[in-house]
Amino acid sequence: MSRIYLMRHGETLFNVLRRKQGWCDSPLTERGIQQARDAGAWLREQGYRFDHFYSSTSERACDTMELAFPGQPYERTKGLKESYFGAFEGLTEDIDRHPFPSEFFVPFGGESEEQARERYLGTLREILGRPGHDQVLCVTHGGILMRLMRAMGVAEHLGGKRMGNCSVLVLEPALGERFGFAFKDLLNPLG
């Protein structure tokens, strides 16, 4: 059975400053660099093997991939980027205290929750549709992974917490499921 492993990037400066990153970027912190190395080592120690590797084009995701799997060739894919928050990019996460309707960011130049999810799911379907793509690792972003888990009805696996840096969401293609994927596991390589 094909599986896709979606790993969140390591801690960034904007994570520490509690700023919305979206399509803007900030570098990994020293802690984020170590998280990426530790997560890659843990996945190898646990016996996970991947036949293809992909990353969001964001620097924080590419750096995480390169640190977790040094020397491993991978493809950068724009479809794996975080949601775009338009004029809210870079602002503090204090605005997240209020629940937003799914279309909230659209008038400010951003994506709706549905647009981001369809972009992301379309990219995952396209990747898994390629020949020989049975065990695929993608380094991506926590916001997208959390939205996927909520949409699939499996957010309770987070226990009310945010998706931790370098956590790995494991999905399998499933024709009968609402979004074409079934939740399999949530791995926390950092303990």
Whether 14 has a pLDDT exceeding 70, the answer reads yes
Whether 99 has a pLDDT exceeding 70, the answer reads no
Is 98 an active-site residue? no
Whether 102 has a pLDDT exceeding 90, the answer reads no
pLDDT in the model for residue 5: 98
Strands 181-187, 52-56: pairing is unpaired
Q: Are 78 and 26 in contact (CB under 8 A)?
A: no
Catalytic residue among 11, 82, 89, 111: 82
Q: Which range is least confidently modeled, 6-10, 49-53, 74-78, 146-150?
A: 146-150
- 6 contact partners, CB below 8 Å, separation of at least 6: 138, 140, 145, 148, 168, 169, 170, 171
In Å, the largest CA–CA distance within the chain is: 46
Q: Are 131 and 157 in contact (CB under 8 A)?
A: no
Highest averaged pLDDT of the listed ranges 61-75, 111-125, 165-179: 61-75
pLDDT in the model for residue 98: 61
Is 9 an active-site residue? yes
Whether 157 has a pLDDT exceeding 80, the answer reads no
pTM: 0.93
Average pLDDT over every residue of 22-47:
97
Distance of CA 56 to the CA centre of its chain: 8
Mean pLDDT of the chain: 92
